[in-house]
Structure 1
Amino acid sequence: MKFVIEYHFEPAAYMAGLKRFAETQGPPPAGITMLGRWHSAVGHKGFTLAETTDAKALYAWVVDWADLISFEVYPVLEDAEFAEVITAHFKQ
């Protein structure tokens, strides 16, 4: 399953977050494939697209950064998957 992970650096922790990212690059743990990550040039935010079947690994990744960043995580579907769902819905 694919997940969008939106992140927002806490203003007081922004520089510490940048330092940690510069040192580690924030890799995903085993069991998660990071499909991409995008950072806003302003606003202290960005998002990651990740794929996993392991909710515990996803939680562990977020918890590793929770002292500096707030997160919103939600599952997403690609167009073809979404089309299957809505097509089935309207056939009922």
Structure 2
Amino acid sequence: MLFFDISTWDPQDNEKVIEHFKNLRPPAGITIINQWVDLNGGRYFILYEAENNEAYAEFNIPWSDVCLIDSVPVMESTDFIKLMISKGL
């Protein structure tokens, strides 16, 4: 399943966040598709695939001490349209 996460943090936590980034090693079951940093600071965006709930939790929980993570399950719009058509919607 695909997830798009927006992580935010207080500017006073910049050093802690940088340390997290230095140690970022996705667990088994997580495939990072792309990532972006807000050039204004304080936000990070990531699109990734999680094979299961355990991988998802293992990936996000270590950030909970420095970031607020808004995690959104997503799918490509063409796949969504095909799904809706197949369901008669």
5+ residue gaps, structure 2, are none
CA pair 78-44 structure 1, distance change in 2 beyond 3 A: same
Deviation at 1:59, TM superposition (A): 1.1
Q: Distance in 2 between matches of 1:86 and 1:20?
A: 39
Deviation at 1:60, TM superposition (A): 1.5
Q: Distance in 1 between matches of 2:16 and 2:51?
A: 31
* 2:17 alignment partner, SS class: helix
Runs of 4+ in 1 over 2 A off after TM superposition: 85-89
Partner of 1:9: 9
Number of equivalenced pairs: 89
5+ residue gaps, structure 1, are none
Q: What is the root-mean-square deviation in Å for CA atoms of aligned residues?
A: 1.7
Partner of 1:75: 73
Q: Distance in 1 between matches of 2:69 and 2:2?
A: 16
TM-score normalised by L of structure 1: 0.82
Identity of aligned pairs, percent? Answer: 25
